Structure 1
Amino acid sequence: MNKRLTSLIVFIVAVGLIAYVVATTQPRVGAEEGMIAPDFTLPLWHTGEEAELSSFRGDIVVLNLWASWCPPCREEMPELIELSNNYKGKGVKVVGVNLALQERSPEDADEFMEEFGVDFPTFVDQPNEERRGVVSTLYNIDSIPFTYVIDRDGVIVKVYRGLVRYEWLEEFIEEIR
């Protein structure tokens, strides 16, 4: 009887160890190059009206995920505004997503938008059933800023994790236009 119990315990521990290794070595799954950009419907900061990311199909979209307290987000925002202004009416849209659940308060995002004069469409992420942000979950965001370049058909063609520069975006956009 003792030998059976020992064998059972060893078996259970082995299965648990294998399950742990498999679970912790899985690749990061999220929105990656070559995938259709996950669609979402969220309110826009400027109007409060709900819109869909897919409503921008037909244009190249530079989708930037940010929070007001994030130093790289603050550093890149003037360049994103410049990019938006320089490509107005040229088939390229800069679109922001404020990761609102990461903000200390809604007023912080409001102050950020006003401080920088952000005038491009900006979604406000909302909690889902797991109390994580809809976009944070769909795109599996584990750090910010994150910037995606999405082609006219809705396919993610470039992912920038961390700070992004105007020159990098402009060069890539010109390649795919």
Structure 2
Amino acid sequence: MTTPQDLRILLRALAGLTHQAQTLLYDSGYGQARRNETGIRGSNRHSTPCDQQLLATIVDTITPITAGWARNLSMDAQILIPTDVAEKGFWCAWMARHAEQLAAMPWVEDCVEELTDLAHRLAQQLTPLPEPGGIKLPDYATAGEIANAYNITPRAVRKYCAAHGITAWRMPDGTRYSTHQYRQARKD
């Protein structure tokens, strides 16, 4: 039996993980879109590409699942969802506020199971397994950085990336390759 307090803890944890993921995306990939106080873009420099997999997780998985459970609660318990919750996506906070009603729903165990699984998957995505050789690679790394992690030559990395269609970004400090795609290609 799930208690309202258990639900609050789970929903706050999921909200914290979602906020962490959104902060990582904002800090990495959306810097170019930021504006200063006058409304003018701060610089014309290229921003670092964001983690596409993390963005897809938030847009395609987290938001629809949490919004779906919140709408189920709203319909079954006859509770209106405020406009700002729907517009800004504060689904976990809204459900935590109504934890007593959520705990009384016949489908609460299914909700807890799905939200717990979602929180675990997001936590694993935010704290991935260590890299080979103990070197942590960023989402996009140079051929030299990847070569150091895998104990191969930078030339071998460039050739492998070209042969396997790994996404490459030309930056002022050199070409950067998607380390996620590189790892996936090496697993296959």
Alignment TM-score, normalising by the size of structure 1: 0.23
Between 1 and 2, higher relative CO (CA 8 Å, sep ≥ 6) is seen in 1
Q: What TM-score, normalized by structure 2, do the two folds share? A: 0.22
Which is helix-richer, 1 or 2? 2
Bigger share in strand = 1
